[in-house]
Amino acid sequence: MSPSAALSADERAVLRELSPGIPEGERPWAELARRAGVAEDECLGVMRALIERGVVRRVAAVVRDRDLGYNGNAMVAWRVAEERLEEAGAAAAARPEVSHAYSRRTRDEWPFNLYTMVHGRTREATLAVVEELGKATGATSPDDRRVLFSLREFTKRRPDYSAALGAAADQSTEGSGS
């Protein structure tokens, strides 16, 4: 499936103009529609269709962790028995402290197949969640998991979708380097 074949021209236009973020002002969808060259109700219809199809996961805000006191964030790499992977993923997903849970391919030197992002206000809080998840997933031995605390954030920005969507007309709403 080539990127452009998956989306209609209007869908591509709306997503392209939405890339920098929701426009400022009290009627942002009307403004977005204007930039995309469609009517406001068409724009909202496009958004609903994209969500329905799973192309857009959600339209929402991401808040800066540190402003909410989250200083114990860690990526945890787990080694879970293959037959328990589904169950382990579900257990992780059920926890509010876990924002991301993926299974990933392994390598000889790095045999961990399940990755979870755990957000704790403190290291201790995160480690407590890891303990509980270990019990739920059977990965109870320290050898079965690596708790990789974040030491520094170098880069965190939205993806560059211009290869699939083209470049937005107005880049000013949100920098892609923030």
56-85 positions binding other proteins, by CB under 8 A: 56-70, 74-75, 85
User: Measured from the CB of residue 138, what is the shortest distance to other proteins in angstroms?
Assistant: 16
CB of 37 or CB of 176, closer to other proteins? 176
Residue for token pair 């529609």: 33
* Phi, psi of 107, deg, nearest 5: -135, 160
CB of 140 to other proteins, least distance (A): 19
Residues 81-110 that bind other proteins (CB under 8 A): 85, 89-90, 92-93, 96, 98-107, 109-110
In the block, tokens 């452009």 appear at: 4
Which part of the chain contacts other proteins (CB under 8 A), choosing from 5-13, 128-136, 137-145?
Answer: 5-13
Cβ neighbors of 143 (< 8 A, separation 6 or more) are 79
What residues between 125 and 154 interact with other proteins by CB under 8 A?
A: 146-154
* β-strands 74-78, 114-118 pairing: antiparallel
Integer-rounded Cα Rg, in Å, for the chain is 20
**Residue 51 Cβ, how far from other proteins at the closest point, in Å?**
8
Q: Smallest distance from the beta carbon of 118 to other proteins, in angstroms? A: 12
137 close to 80: Cβ distance less than 8 angstroms: yes
